[in-house]
C-alpha cells in the first residue's frame, strides 16, 4: 500500500510539473511575450511542445489515481517502478523543475539591452567585414605555419609535440562562404532596388539584409539618405558626438542573439541615454572603427520613440 501511495504521489507531482510548463508556455503565447525569448520560426515547435507537455501531464495525473496504480502493479516487465532515493534527494530533483516554472510566472519579462550588448560585443553592420578579417588572419597564420615547416621541419614538429603550436583545422573561409552561388547575386539585386528607390529605409523585416548589403556595396550608397530604428548604445571609447543605433538579431532564441549596430555622429548624441529607442534619419557616410571600415550616419534628425512590438530582428533566409 505504501508503494502504491509512493508511485501515485510521484506520478501526480510529475503531472503537475508537466502541466505547469505547458501553462507557462501558453501564458507566454497569449501575452505575446514569447517574442522576447525565441524567433518566430520556432513557434511551431512551441505549439507542439505545449500540447505534448499538456497531454503527458494529464497522463501522469491519471497514473496517480487508484486505477492507474493498479495498472502499474499489473505490469509484467520485471522492473521496480518505485522511486528510489532519500526525501531530500527527491525534493532537490523536483525543485530543479519547479523553480523555472515559478520564476517564469513571477519574474517580469525583460528585453535584452545595452548591458547584454556590452558583454557580447557589437557587430557594426552585418559583421561580414570582421569575419573576412578573421579569415584573412587565419590564412596568414596557416601560411606562416607552412613556411615554418618548410624552413625547418624538425623544429616545427618539436613545437607541435611541445604543445606550443596547435594543429590547423579544416575550415571554409569567409571568402569561400560569401561567394557561394546566389549570395552575391541576391545582394546585388537588392542594391539595385534600393538605388532605384533613392533612399535606404531599414525596417524590422529587412534589417539584416540591409546591413549585409551596406557592408558589401557601401561605396554605392555613400551620400544616400537613410532611415533606421534601434536603441542607443555606446562603447566606452566613443567620443561625445558618437552613438550606435542597434538591434538584437536572433536566429533561434536569446542564447544566439547578436547585436548589430550602425554608427551615428551628431553634436546632440550625448543627450540620449543607452537603451533609448530612436528613429534616426541622415546621410550615409563611412568611417573607421577598430581598423574596420564601417557605415556612418551623418545625423539630420533623431526622434525618441516607443519600443517596437517586435524589438528583435530576424534573418529572412531569402537566398
Q: Strand pairing partners for 294?
A: 287
Kindly report, residue by residue over 54-79, the tens digit of the pLDDT: 999 999 998 888 665 555 555 556 55
Domain assignment present for 124: no
Angle made by CA atoms 318, 309, 243, in degrees to the nearest 5: 85
pLDDT at 30: 94
Strand 122-124 with 200-201, pairing = unpaired
Is 258 inside any structural domain?
Answer: yes
Residues 188 and 272 in one domain: yes
Residue 55, domain extent: 2-110
Distance CA 130, CA 124 (A): 9
CB-based contact 233:244 (threshold 8 Å): yes
**What are the pLDDT digits (tens) for 131-166?**
444 444 444 555 555 555 556 666 655 665 555 444
Does residue 129 sit within a domain? no
Q: How far is CA 286 from the centre of its chain?
A: 27
pLDDT in tens, 166-192: 444 444 444 544 455 556 788 888 889
On whether residue 168 sits in a domain, the answer given is no
Question: Cα angle vertex 27, ends 49, 21, to 5°?
Answer: 45
Decide which of 110, 133, 162 is a domain's last residue: 110
Same domain, 299 and 205: yes
202 and 296 in a common domain: yes
Which of 90, 110, 130 is the last residue before a domain boundary?
110
How far apart are alpha carbons 137 and 177 in whole angstroms? 16
| d(C-alpha 260, C-alpha 257), whole Å | 10
Amino acid at each position: 500500500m505504501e508503494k502504491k501511495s509512493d508511485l501515485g504521489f510521484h506520478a501526480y507531482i510529475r503531472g503537475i510539473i508537466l502541466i505547469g510548463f505547458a501553462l507557462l508556455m501558453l501564458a507566454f503565447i497569449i501575452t505575446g511575450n514569447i517574442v522576447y525569448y525565441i524567433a518566430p520560426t520556432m513557434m511551431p515547435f512551441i505549439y507542439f511542445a505545449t500540447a505534448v507537455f499538456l497531454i503527458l501531464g494529464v497522463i501522469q495525473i491519471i497514473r496517480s489515481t487508484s486505477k492507474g496504480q493498479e495498472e502499474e502493479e499489473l505490469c509484467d516487465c520485471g522492473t521496480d517502478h518505485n522511486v528510489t532515493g532519500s526525501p531530500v534527494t527527491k525534493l532537490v530533483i523536483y525543485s530543479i523543475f519547479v523553480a523555472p516554472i515559478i520564476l517564469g510566472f513571477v519574474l517580469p519579462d525583460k528585453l535584452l539591452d545595452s548591458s547584454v550588448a556590452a558583454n557580447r560585443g557589437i557587430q557594426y553592420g552585418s559583421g561580414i567585414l570582421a569575419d573576412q578579417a578573421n579569415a584573412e588572419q587565419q590564412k596568414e597564420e596557416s601560411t606562416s605555419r607552412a613556411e615554418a615547416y618548410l624552413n625547418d621541419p624538425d623544429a616545427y614538429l618539436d613545437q607541435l609535440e611541445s604543445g606550443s603550436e596547435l594543429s590547423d583545422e579544416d575550415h571554409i573561409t569567409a571568402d569561400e562562404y560569401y561567394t557561394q552561388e546566389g549570395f552575391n547575386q541576391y545582394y546585388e539585386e537588392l542594391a539595385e532596388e534600393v538605388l532605384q528607390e533613392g533612399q535606404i529605409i531599414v525596417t524590422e523585416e529587412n534589417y539584416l539584409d540591409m546591413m549585409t548589403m551596406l557592408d558589401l556595396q557601401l561605396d554605392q550608397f555613400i551620400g544616400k539618405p537613410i532611415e533606421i530604428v534601434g536603441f542607443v548604445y555606446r562603447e566606452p571609447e566613443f567620443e561625445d558626438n558618437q552613438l550606435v543605433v542597434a538591434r538584437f538579431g536572433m536566429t533561434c532564441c536569446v542564447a544566439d542573439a547578436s547585436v548589430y549596430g550602425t554608427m551615428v555622429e551628431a553634436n546632440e548624441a550625448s543627450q540620449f541615454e543607452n537603451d533609448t529607442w530612436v528613429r534616426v534619419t541622415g546621410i550615409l557616410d563611412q568611417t573607421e572603427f577598430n581598423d574596420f571600415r564601417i557605415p556612418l550616419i551623418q545625423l539630420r534628425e533623431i526622434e525618441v520613440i516607443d519600443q517596437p512590438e517586435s524589438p528583435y530582428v530576424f534573418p529572412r533566409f531569402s537566398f
